[in-house]
Amino acid sequence: MSLIFSSLMILLRLTELILIFRTQVIQLRIKDVVLFSFFEDLNWILYFLGLLFIFHTINSLLSLGLAKRFTQVLLVLALLIHITLIFYFLKTLQPLGKDLFGYSLNDIIITVQSSGQLNLVSVLVGIVICTAVFLLFNLANKYFAFGLKTTLVLSIAMYWFLILVYFIPIKDPDHLNETKANIQLNKSKHLSEQAFDFLIYKDEYYFDFYLREVKDGLFVKKEYTDPSYPFLYSADYPDVLSPYFDSLSAPPDIVFVLIESLGKAYSGKGAYLGSFTPFLDSLEQHSLVWTNALSSTGRTFGLLPGIFAGLPYGERGFLELYDDFPHHNSLISVLNTNGYSSSFFIGADISFDHEREFLDYAGVTHLTDIHSFESKYKKMPSSPNGFSWGYGDKELFMQGLSLFPRRDGKPQLGIFQTITSHDPYVVPEPETYSQKFENHLENYLHLSEAEKKDYRPYKNIYQTILYADDAIKAFVTSYSEKPEFANTIFVFTGDHRLPEIPMASRLDRFHVPLIIYSPLLRRPAYFKGLVSHFEVTPSLLAMMQAQVGVEIPGKKIWMGQTLDTSSVFQSTIVMPLMRNKSQLIEFLSGEYFLSDEQLFVITDGMNIDPIEDQSLRNKLTGEFEDFKNKNNYIIQTRKLLPEP
C-alpha cells in the first residue's frame, strides 16, 4: 500500500507541475523546479508513512483486518486532501496554511462556493477516485509480493535517506523566489506543519514588552506612558496635507472608494504589468498619489481596521475579536463625535469577515449591503455552481448615489467597498468586456501578439479590473454633478494585490494604489515616500484639526505615522504586515523588510533585495517580537484604549 501511495503521490506531482505551467504565466521553466519538488515529496511521503506505520503496527496487534482498513482509509483521505490542496494552489498560487483556521465555517463555505470548485461533477469525481484507490490498495498484496530481504533493503535505504537529509539539509539556492518556493512545496506537508503550529502553540503567550519612544527618523514621536496599555501613546501629528489644499471654509465631505483586489502591479503610473485602470490613471493627473503604498494585510480582513483605525491584528485579524472588541476609536467614530453623518455601502453580505460588527462599533449611521438593494438592480452573474457575491460595482455606486450624500445638514463620510474583482471573477456584460480587454491590450498597453499571450490566461481577472475602473468613472462623473462635489475629498485605494497573477516579490501582495483626489486641491503631486493604510486616518484628521477645528483624541492607539510627501524614495514607518489570517511573519522598519526570517532592503517601486546583516536582522527581529508580545497581550486582556 505504501508503494502504491508513493507512486500516486509522484504521479500527482507530475500532474501538478504540468497544470501549473500550462495554466499560469511564470518566469520559470519546469526543469527549474522539478528536482526540489520531488525531493520535497519524497521527504513528506517517508515521514507520513513512517508515522502511519506506527499506528498500523499497533492496530495489527488487535486485528490484521482492522489495521488494513484503517490504513487504507487514512491513505485515501491523504490523497484526497492532497488533490484538494493542489486545486487550491492552482487557483490561488498560494499554498493553504494556517489561514484555513482564520475563517468561520460559514465564511469557508461561501469562499469555496465562490470559487466554483464545489459542484456535482467534482463530488462525483472525488467518489470515483476514492473507489479506484481503495481497489488498488486491496490488490496490493496480490501483485506486490516482496520477500523479507527486499522489504528490509527498501525500508533501510529510504530511512537512511531521511537521516542524511536531517543532518545534511539540502537547500535550494534560489529559495528566496517565493513563486518557485511555493511551487516546490509539498502542499500536504505545508498544511500539516502549519496546522500543528496553530493547534499546539496558539494559546501560548509570553508577555515581555517594554515601552520606548521610537525616534529613529520617524515623523511622529510617540510617547508611551502606561504599561497596562502598551499601544497607548500621546503624540502630535503634523499636518502634511494642507499645503496641497485650498483653505477649508467648512468641514469637507470625505468619500472612500475601497477597491477589491486592486494592486499597484496593474494600476497607475509605473505598473509593471501595465495599467488596467485608465480612468484612475487619468484621475492621478489631478490628485495626490503615493506610488509606494502598502496595505496592512494580504487579504480583505485587514482593510477596515487598517485604514480607519490603524489597529493591531489580534490572532486572526482585528475583526475576529468581534465578540468583545477592545475599546478603540477610528476615523468614523472621531468624525461622528464632530457632527458627521457616516454611510457604508457594499454589494455583498456585510457580515462576511465580521465587517458589520466593526462598523456598528464605530457608529456608522447608515449601512447598505446585499440585503438593502432596490429591486431594480440586478446581481452579478453567478459562477458555474450558481454562487454570486451580490451586486456589481456599477450597481453599488448607483444605489449609493441615490442615498448619498444625505440631506441631513451634516458633513458626510461615505465609504464604498467594491466586490466584482474577486474570485470567481465573473464580470457583468461579458461580451462587452471581452472586447474591451482585447482593445486595451492593443491600444492602451500597445502589446505585441507574443506579449498578449502572457495576459490572456488571466483574461477574466483583468476584465473585472477594467469593469471596476468603468464603475468608478461613472461614479465620479455622476458625483461631480452634485453641489456637494466642490467640498469633497475622495480617497481611492485597494485592499490588497490579488494572488492569482504571479507576484514579483514577497512585498508585492501588499503594494496598492493610494490616491487622494478633490476639487479643493491646489495642485497634483506624485510622492515616493513609503506609506501604508495606517497613515491615512491620522493624516486626514491632522489636516482637519488644523483647518476646521476637528477635535481628535489626546490619547491615541493608531499604529501609523503620517503620509510621507517626499518626492524621493524614503521610508520612515515601522509596521508589521499580516500575510493571511494567522500568518504574522513579516515586519517593515524604515527601508528594511523582514520576511520569514530573511532580511531585505526596499527600493523605489517596492522592489526588495536580500541582504546579510546579522545585527540589523536582530534589531528588526527584536522590534517584531516586541510587537507580537503586545499584540498577544491585547488578545488576552483587551486593554487597547481605556474606556472613556
Q: What is the DSSP string of 250-265?
A: SPPEEEEEEETT--GG
Percentage of the chain surpassing pLDDT 90? 62
Mean pLDDT of 596-600: 90
According to DSSP, residue 493 is labeled E
Q: Is-contact 420 260, C-beta < 8 A? A: yes
As a three-state string, the secondary structure of 190-209 is HHHHHHHHHHHHCCCCCCCC
Residue type, position 537, single letter = T
Q: pLDDT per residue over 212-264, tens digit each?
A: 444 454 678 888 888 899 999 999 899 999 999 999 989 999 999 999 999 99
Mean pLDDT of 552-576: 93
Residue 68 CA to residue 59 CA, distance in Å, equals: 9
**CA distances, 184 to each of 162, 175, 580, 583, 607 (Å):** 18, 10, 20, 20, 23
Distance of alpha carbon 105 from its chain centroid, rounded?
A: 19
Residue 619 CA to residue 415 CA, distance in Å, equals: 38
Partners of 245 in the β-ladder: 521
Residue 124 CA to residue 586 CA, distance in Å, equals: 41
> pTM for this one?
0.85
Going across the sheet that includes 223-224, the strands are 223-224, 233-234, 555-556
Q: pLDDT per residue over 297-326, tens digit each?
A: 999 999 999 999 999 999 889 999 999 999
Three cell numbers, residue 234: 500621546
* Structure-derived torsion over alpha carbons of residues 540, 546, 547, 552, reported in degrees to the nearest 10: 60
Mean pLDDT of 407-432: 92
Q: Which residue has the higher pLDDT, 143 or 186?
A: 186
Residue 38 CA to residue 186 CA, distance in Å, equals: 9
Angle, CA 633 vertex, CA 631 and CA 638 arms, to 5°:
95
Cis ω for the linkage preceding 405 (within 30 of 0): yes
Residue 255 CA to residue 262 CA, distance in Å, equals: 17
Phi, psi of 391 (to 5 degrees): -95, 140
Domain with CATH 3.40.720.10 in the chain: 223-249+258-637
Q: Is-contact 540 331, C-beta < 8 A? A: yes
Statement: residue 358 has pLDDT above 90: yes
Q: Is-contact 478 401, C-beta < 8 A? A: yes
Q: What's the CATH number for 223-249+258-637? A: 3.40.720.10
Judged on CB neighbours under 10 Å (0-12, 13-18, 19+), 452 is: middle
Confidence of residue 208 (pLDDT cuts 50, 70, 90): low
Conformational region of residue 425, where left means phi above 0, alpha means psi within -120 to 50, and beta covers everything else: left
Residue 25 CA to residue 461 CA, distance in Å, equals: 14
Partners of 609 in the β-ladder: 601
For residues 311-345, one letter each, b for 16 or more C-beta atoms within 10 angstroms of the residue's C-beta and e for the rest, the string is bbbbbbbbbbbbeebbebbbbbbbbbebebbbbbb
Q: Which residue has the higher pLDDT, 109 or 44?
A: 44
Residue 46 CA to residue 50 CA, distance in Å, equals: 6
Window from 128-132, 523-527, 566-570, 572-576 with minimum mean pLDDT: 128-132
According to DSSP, residue 442 is labeled I
Statement: residue 461 has pLDDT above 90: yes
According to DSSP, residue 382 is labeled P
**CA distances, 398 to each of 235, 347, 376, 380, 411 (Å):** 41, 11, 11, 14, 21
According to DSSP, residue 537 is labeled H
Distance of alpha carbon 55 from its chain centroid, rounded?
A: 39
Judged on CB neighbours under 10 Å (0-12, 13-18, 19+), 307 is: buried
Phi, psi of 225 (to 5 degrees): -130, -15
Residue type, position 15, single letter = T
* pLDDT of 218: 60
* pLDDT of 3: 85
Judged on CB neighbours under 10 Å (0-12, 13-18, 19+), 211 is: middle
Confidence of residue 202 (pLDDT cuts 50, 70, 90): low
CA-closest candidate to residue 627, choices 323, 333, 310, 321: 310
* pLDDT of 203: 52
Q: Is-contact 357 139, C-beta < 8 A? A: no
- The mean pLDDT of the chain is 89
According to DSSP, residue 216 is labeled S
CA-closest candidate to residue 499, choices 319, 266, 325, 246: 266
Q: Which residue has the higher pLDDT, 129 or 326?
A: 326
